Each structure stands twice: as structure tokens, then as C-alpha cells.
Chains A and B, each alone.
Chain A
Amino acid sequence: MHLYPSSLAALIEALRKLPGIGPKTAQRLALYLLHAPEGEAEGLAQAILDAREKIFFCSVCGNLTDTDPCELCRDEKRDRSLLCVVEWPRDIIAFERTGEFNGVYHVLHGVLSPMDGIGPDDLKIAELLKRVSKGDIKEVILATNPNVEGEATALYLAQLLKPIVPKVTRIAHGLPVGGDLEFADTATLSRSLLGRQVI
């Protein structure tokens, strides 16, 4: 059955490959782009090409950037002795939204997962060690996700970092703000007991 002209079918196929886009949404987006006002589709195409061309990973922290080093790494007001290790660039954005953190970051670009064939050499761990061994860092905060793989990665890094950094910390696990004790699972509750603080 012949449904669409081949160039339109190719566009739908290309859109379908995007994360979170199913066949119906792909079709809807493709048809929208065909009918969109003059310049909109061209603008989108140009924006994609520009971003692809100009965005790369910061040579210091591994964040997405269009200048090297990135803006966060160049910022003089930031505390360079405090280093926060995250899994992905999007985690930096999450921390930056809080406005509470004034240190610098290091992006691992993944987590340890033997099941997916990802070992220490596939992450930016050598870069991290190199950065830390320069000696100005007083504390490393391990901010990987509190799941099985994130926890393993934090434990692995802690082993390597403890001998060379004065202080290695792990972000706290516990109850969500505005949450309800009754609905917390026991693992979370017991973690929050372990991490309790004096008030």
C-alpha cells in the first residue's frame, strides 16, 4: 500500500527515530512542517545544523558548551575547590536550577553497568582523576542517581578518590520535600533515618 510520497515518508521515518516520538506523533509533526509558515521548517533545519556544528563537550568538565572551557568553568566567582560529579549534562542543569551550588562540575557521561558493557574506561573517570590530582580540590560530591548503577558508580569512585581528596561525600537520600511518611517505602525511610541531622 502506498500511503505517502517517498520524501514525506522519509521525513516521518526520521522523526520517528527521535526519543519519545511514536508513529502517530511523527506523522503529525511531518504534516505540520509541510504546512508551516514560510521559513519555519528552514529555521528548524538550520537550528539543528547550527547546534550540531557549534555544541561540543567542555574539555574541563564535559558539559555541553559552545565555548571552551564552558561558561561554568570560566566563571571566576565559582568555588573551584568544590567538585560535583554527575552522570549527564542534564544533571548540571538540575543543580543549577536550585541556585544553591557554587562549585564546579564533572560529567561522567554515563554510569557503570556491566550488563550494558559500560566499564570505567567508557566513562570520564580518567579525566576526573587527572583533574583531582592537580590538588586544589578540597571536596568531591558524588551526585549520581540513587539507583543500583548510580550507587555502584559512586562506591567505585569513592574507592579511587578517598586516597587523593581530603573529603569525598555522597548526596543525601531520603524523603522528598512535601512528601508523606506514610507513603515512603521502607528503603527510603531507613536511608533517611541513617542520614538524619541535628536541628
Chain B
Amino acid sequence: MLKYLYLNNFRNYENLEFMPEEKFIIFTGANGTGKSNLLEGIYYLGTGYSFRQARDENLVRFGSDYFAISGIVSCAGVDYKIDALYQREKKRKIIKINNKRVLPGSCSSYLPVVIFSPQDLILIKGAPSVRRRFLDLLVSQLKPQHSKDLHYYNNVLLQRNKQLRSIKTTDADLFPWEKQLSSLGARIWKRRISVFSQLIDYSSEVFASLSRGRILRGEYKFQINGIKESDDLAKLQGLLLDALQKARPNDRKVKFTTVGPHREDFCLYLNDHEARLYASQGEQRLISLALKVGQYQLLSLEKRAEPVLLLDDVFSELDEKHRVLVLDVMKKGSQVFATTTASFKEEYGRRKALTSHITMVYPKNF
């Protein structure tokens, strides 16, 4: 749960400090006043990146050369201070928990965020990297070690790719990096597979209830043949090492690593047809919603930290039925931050000005 937030030179905020007084807050105001930027700040604190596919340098307020976000989160009854700092000139990102520097992504289990936004559609339509990022975020939120393994995996990957670019690279030069990629990669696989199958279980149930019993299926797409989901770590490690070594001639030609968890994707099927290609816009929206609700439900099982819901303009995007679903989820007593341009009647709830353009509404009925 987020107890305190401070935004400094982040997007349109030079200095903004606020403490949520109740669990459910709606930010209202005209377009372009910075409502979504607030959610983006909270999301950044919980993930280390923006949910709007924005680069870190684009998050810096115009005329400044850094941004800083601080927050106090409560997690299993204990308060933690999280700081995120980005310096544009040095291209340096520093994330701290209780003043101790940690790897980016380490915060995801302290402040597990779930965002519902009009952009969720790219989960279905977008590139594989979008889906990988979504899955890896959920895995990191559940299993803190995952973000570390990903970080090290990417470091080793950079080294192997750089090695591939040198002309006189021998197999012996590549081996040390491949060996490490395979042990880290096997662990990444193992966690992704188990979390993905749980996610699909929840999401297809949600989807069935939204669509009168239609069937949503999902499949994690390994790039390498012969992998079974039941394989143990040692087997996976062997398969990945083997695949990396077989890919050497091709990798040398294209000068990057063409196999491994960093190139994989998952595929969703609606009544056995690939959703990305055959589902309608409306169906795709429903599927992305089901995935997010699934993410939320999986996180709710975790006792340590309660998930924080961020609803970016969902009231205008969703029709009545889906609004009810989202509101249903919220009723469980989670912390919710929502934005909307709609205005509310006086009796809807207590209001308080956040900035000169944004008003906070605390709804009565939650």
C-alpha cells in the first residue's frame, strides 16, 4: 500500500507531495492537467519504467535534467522507503529501498502495481517484447529473485553479443557466456512457465464470465524444440546451452544472440484461433482486461503486499459491464488510484484539491 508520494521534476510536476487519506481516490480534472502522470509516477516506483512505453529521458520535466520519485509503502505491516532517481546527462537510474541501492525491478514485490489503461490493448496487438515485459513484471512481483536473474541475464547477453561482433571470435570465447546464459535462462524459464499457467487459469475464468462462456487459452512459445514444461532445471539448462551452441554460425552472421528466453513470446487463443490475428477489437480489449484481472487476482493471493490498482481513464473506455467487473475487483478493499475527466456530484464523496487543476474525490461507497 502506498502511504506517501513525492514527485520531483517528473513529467509536469516540479514538486508534488501527497498522502492518500483513504484507500480509494479518483483524480478528476480536464485533459492535459497531469492526472495520468500521477499514476505513471506510482507505476514507475513499483516497476522502474513507464506504462506508456515512454523512455526515461521523456519523463524528465521540461527545463530540468533529472527526475526523482519517492514513496513510502507499507508491506506486511512494515514501512519501506523507495526512491527512484534518473539523471538525464549521465543516463543513470538509481533505485533505492530504505536508502540502500538495489537493482531496478527490485521494488516490484514491495509495491505490486496493476494498471488498467486504454493502452492495454498492445498486450494483444503489440510486439513480443510487450508481452515478455508484462509476464516478467508479474513474475518479479511474485518472485523477487526473478528481476535479479533477468538483470544478470541481460548483462551476459550484452557481453556475448559484443563478442559476436568481433571478427576473430572463437567458440572458446563464446562458451563462458553461453554457460552462464543457460543457467540463468533455465531459471527464468522455470518461473515464467509456472506463473504463466497460473495467470491463464485465472484469466480464462474471467474471460468466460465476460463473454458468455467463450474459451481463452494461452501457450508459452519456446523457441527451442523439445522442451517440455515439466523438465527440471538441469534439463532446461542443457537444452539452452545446446541451442546456443548450435546457433553460433547464424549468430555470428547476424551479430546477436538469436535464441533464448529474451526472444520468446506467449500466444493467446480465442476459441482456438490466435487472438492477435483473428479476434475483433472489442474481443481483444476483453482479453487484455482478463489478463489484467488475472494479474490482480494472482497478486491478491500473495500475503506479503497487497496489489495497488491504477485505473487510467478506464471509465470512459469500458462499457457498463466491464466497469462493473473492474469495480467488483476493487471492492475487495484494495488501494485504488483512478483518473477520469468526468465530474462527480457533491454527494458522491468528499473532495479535496490536489493542484489548481486536479481535484481528488474520495467516493463514499467504498
Contacts and interface: CB of A to CB of B under 8 A. Distances in A.
A186 B147 CA distance: 12
A91 interface: no
Interface string A170-199: 000000000000000111000000000000
A99 interface: no
Nearest to A186: B145
A87 to B, nearest CB: 15
A119 B172 contact: no
26 contacts: A112-B176, A114-B160, A114-B163, A114-B165, A114-B166, A115-B162, A119-B166, A119-B173, A120-B173, A148-B152, A148-B156, A148-B159, A148-B180, A149-B159, A151-B176, A152-B159, A154-B176, A155-B179, A155-B180, A156-B172, A159-B172, A159-B176, A185-B145, A186-B145, A187-B148, A187-B149
A46 interface: no
A159 B162 contact: no
B94 to A, nearest CB: 17
A113 interface: yes
B296 interface: no
A153 B173 contact: no
Contacts of B145: 185-187
B177 interface: yes
Interface residues of A, number: 19
Nearest to B165: A114
Interface in A96-136: 112-115, 119-120
Nearest 9 interchain pairs by C-beta: A152-B176, A114-B162, A155-B176, A114-B163, A186-B145, A156-B176, A148-B155, A115-B162, A114-B159
Interface in B160-203: 160, 162-163, 165-166, 172-173, 175-177, 179-180
A36 B158 CA distance: 49
Interface in B132-163: 145, 148-149, 152, 155-156, 158-160, 162-163
Contact of B175 (A113, A120, A148, A159): A159
Given A185-B145, A187-B149, A151 B175 contact: no
